[in-house]
Amino acid sequence: MEFSSRARQRHARLAGDRREQYPHSLQFYLEPPTESISLVEFESLAIDRLKLLKVVENLGVSYIRSTDTYKTKLEHELRKLKFPYRALAEDDYEARRKDHISHFILRLAYCQSEDLRRWFLQQEMDLFRYRFNELTESLMQKFLEHANLSFEAISEDLKNELCNELCASTPGFSLSKVKEQMFYKVGLADAVDLFRARRVFIKDGFAYVPFKEIDVIVLNNYRTKLSKALALTARSLPSVQSDERLQPLLKHLSHCYVGPDYSAQNNTGKISLEQIDALSVKSFPLCMRHLHRALRDSHHLRHGGRMQYGLFLKGIGLTLEQALEFWKKEFIRGKVDADKFDKGYAYSIRHNYGKEGKRTDYTPYSCMKIIMSNPPSQGDYHGCPFRHSDPEILKQKLQSYKIPPSGITQILDLVKGMHYQLACQKYFELTHDVDDIGFSLNHPNQYFTESQKLLSGGRELKKELSNSGNFQHKNNSQESMNSNSTPTSSNAAADTELEGLEAYFTED
Ligand code: SF4
């Protein structure tokens, strides 16, 4: 965020007044923020939290959560994005404020459907778990009191009386360890996870929970509160959505992809039509490979497929003239004659390239947009195969692409856990024979760029796809955080315009 010096002073005064709002770096987010913020700040805070949650998702699937690598990488990201990363810090008011406000903005954006709620809840839980476990014992105690979760510690006499039962019912606890640790008497409803896993001693409707397991209770409590809050927020959505400034922002955030804009590429014209078949096998993500195959087989794609695939091809470098030739050649091999193509389809292709209508230069779709909106119906080939295909059909497709059985199992497990982009990353690793792709996949055109970079040892990328390199560079600077939010605004505008554009695609 950029503030002028006067604004900074005013902000500092405000900050002083509000500091007591955040006695801890860790929050249960019980009270929504009440201060006024600009739309620009609203968007920038939300984008940063979205970036953080995407990293949380990625790390959660790639590493075991208790490992040092997981913790180090997550701390690095929290520092980089300026969120509270160590609960001991006394002077992180700005970070705490950002944490608070951004959580509530994404709560609004991600309460809109069951899928979104589930995703948001999972990432927020993982983030909370990491932060809570990073607290020292005394800070944990303080936080529990602050969150009204101050459970009653049992007396030494009672502990001695129950020590055999506590030792037998608490896995990993010897008699001496029982004597060392504090045990808390917790209502059964709060300890249901421990009870289910038979990891706690129960007596007279109370669970006797050792301090080291208290995170399970706290997380359980947090999950319940956040689920309820999301359901309540969803109910109040109609009134929020009636605000015409917020509605497009929230809609866009829930489909939001945080990364470079692939609409304007320096690689335009660097790809020949003859290369596309080979590229579709080597460097296209599954969604685009699927669309390309369907187009070659049936010499036609319906409107959703033409939009998704057409904009992707534009993003990888097809010029307007090439696009017109490519689609026409294929369509006239089917049921559409040249005249019908020129009248019915050429206009929409020119429109995609900003040469008709409002002359908007349309942006290729991000993974989030493909995954979250416009699911394919029968006869459609667009969408994300990891999200929209039946698992059995996906399995057969992966087998036909020679993915090894162990890889297919890993992909299907990720799909089952609704980690569609991570499943796609795994597909990338398996088809490119690398152990770790080293980037977080957000966009089909990013997949293509990274694939080309890998296959050509990085040389061609510099020459052909230098635009992507620029974005990488920008992403590493503070400037990029601001510049990243700008394409998002323009993406939001483009999304709105795309809806208008869809009217031009009435012909299937
Ligand atoms: Fe395409 Fe993204 Fe799905 Fe991969 S995750 S198949 S790139 S939409």
| Ligand 1, pocket-test mutation among 420, 422, 431, most atoms within 8 A of CB | 420
What pLDDT does 253 receive? 80
Average pLDDT over residues 329-357: 89
Strands 152-153 and 183-187: antiparallel
* pLDDT for residue 49 is more than 90: yes
Distance, in Å, from the CA atom of 112 to the CA atom of 97, rounded to the nearest integer, reads: 24
More confident call, 149 vs 317: 317
Q: In which band, very low, low, confident or very high, does the pLDDT at 477 lie, cut at 50, 70 and 90?
A: very low
Distance, in Å, from the CA atom of 364 to the CA atom of 310, rounded to the nearest integer, reads: 8
- Pocket residues: Cβ below 6 A from ligand 1: 285-287, 367, 370-371, 384-386, 420-421, 424, 444, 447
Distance, in Å, from the CA atom of 34 to the CA atom of 103, rounded to the nearest integer, reads: 13
* pLDDT for residue 325 is more than 60: yes
* pLDDT for residue 287 is more than 90: yes
Average pLDDT over residues 102-118: 88
Average pLDDT over residues 320-348: 93
What pLDDT does 391 receive? 95
What pLDDT does 493 receive? 38
The answer to whether 254 touches 49, Cβ cutoff 8 Å, is no
For residue 120, the CA-to-ligand 1 centroid distance in Å is 19
Residue type, 139: L
DSSP state letter for 373: S
Most confident of 67-71, 163-167, 197-201, 400-404: 400-404
Query: Which among 427, 424, 458 has a CA at the least distance from the CA of 442?
Result: 424
Query: Which atom belonging to ligand 1 lies closest to the Cα atom of 365?
Result: 8
For residue 416, the CA-to-ligand 1 centroid distance in Å is 15
Contacts with 410 (C-beta within 8 Å, 6 or more apart), sequence order: 426
* pLDDT for residue 495 is more than 70: no
**287 is known to lie in a ligand binding site:** yes
Render pLDDT for 257-273 as a digit per residue (tens, 0 to 9): 666 677 655 678 888 99
Give residue 82's region: left, alpha or beta (phi > 0; psi -120 to 50): left
**Which residue, judged by its Cα, is nearest atom 6 of ligand 1?**
287
The answer to whether 308 touches 445, Cβ cutoff 8 Å, is no
Distance, in Å, from the CA atom of 385 to the CA atom of 271, rounded to the nearest integer, reads: 25
Query: Which atom belonging to ligand 1 lies closest to the Cα atom of 444?
Result: 7
**Which residue, judged by its Cα, is nearest atom 4 of ligand 1?**
424
DSSP state letter for 273: G
For residue 441, the CA-to-ligand 1 centroid distance in Å is 8
State the SS3 of 281-331.
HHCCCHHHHHHHHHHHHHCCCCHHHHHHHHHHHHHHCCCHHHHHHHHHHHH
Contacts with 478 (C-beta within 8 Å, 6 or more apart), sequence order: none
Distance, in Å, from the CA atom of 419 to the CA atom of 440, rounded to the nearest integer, reads: 12
* pLDDT for residue 98 is more than 90: yes
- Which domains does the chain carry? 20-144 (1.20.930.80), 151-220 (no CATH), 274-456 (no CATH)
| Ligand 1, pocket-test mutation among 312, 313, 367, 440, most atoms within 8 A of CB | 367
**111 is known to lie in a ligand binding site:** no
Please state which of the ranges 83-87, 228-232, 438-442 shows the lowest mean pLDDT. Answer: 83-87
* pLDDT for residue 352 is more than 60: yes
For residue 443, the CA-to-ligand 1 centroid distance in Å is 7
For residue 422, the CA-to-ligand 1 centroid distance in Å is 9
Distance, in Å, from the CA atom of 47 to the CA atom of 438, rounded to the nearest integer, reads: 21
What pLDDT does 106 receive? 94
Contacts with 101 (C-beta within 8 Å, 6 or more apart), sequence order: 33, 35, 37, 45
For residue 424, the CA-to-ligand 1 centroid distance in Å is 6
The answer to whether 220 touches 187, Cβ cutoff 8 Å, is no
What pLDDT does 499 receive? 36
CA distances to 35, 253, 367, 377 from 234, rounded to whole Å, are 22, 15, 24, 27
What pLDDT does 265 receive? 59
* pLDDT for residue 25 is more than 60: yes
Burial class (CB in 10 A: 0-12, 13-18, 19+), 377: exposed
Please state which of the ranges 93-102, 292-301, 416-425, 477-486 shows the lowest mean pLDDT. Answer: 477-486
Distance, in Å, from the CA atom of 347 to the CA atom of 59, rounded to the nearest integer, reads: 44
User: Which residues face 206 on adjacent strands?
Assistant: 187, 203
**Which residue, judged by its Cα, is nearest atom 7 of ligand 1?**
444
Average pLDDT over residues 1-14: 42
Q: What are phi and psi of 89, to 5 degrees?
A: -60, 130
Distance, in Å, from the CA atom of 485 to the CA atom of 490, rounded to the nearest integer, reads: 9
Does the pTM surpass 0.85? The reply is no
What pLDDT does 487 receive? 29
| Ligand 1, pocket-test mutation among 283, 287, 394, most atoms within 8 A of CB | 287
What pLDDT does 277 receive? 96
Q: In which band, very low, low, confident or very high, does the pLDDT at 376 lie, cut at 50, 70 and 90?
A: very high
The encoded tokens of residue 237 equal 């959505």
Buried b (16+ CB within 10 A) or exposed e, 435-452: eebebbbbbbbbbbbbbb
The encoded tokens of residue 198 equal 């038979």
> Counting every residue, how long is the chain?
508
Query: Which among 85, 74, 89, 80 has a CA at the least distance from the CA of 23?
Result: 89
Please state which of the ranges 11-25, 141-155, 467-481, 493-507 shows the lowest mean pLDDT. Answer: 467-481
More confident call, 277 vs 344: 277
* pLDDT for residue 16 is more than 70: no
More confident call, 222 vs 472: 222
Average pLDDT over residues 42-53: 91
For residue 129, the CA-to-ligand 1 centroid distance in Å is 29
What pLDDT does 494 receive? 36
Distance, in Å, from the CA atom of 51 to the CA atom of 59, rounded to the nearest integer, reads: 12
Query: Which among 136, 214, 104, 140 has a CA at the least distance from the CA of 170?
Result: 214
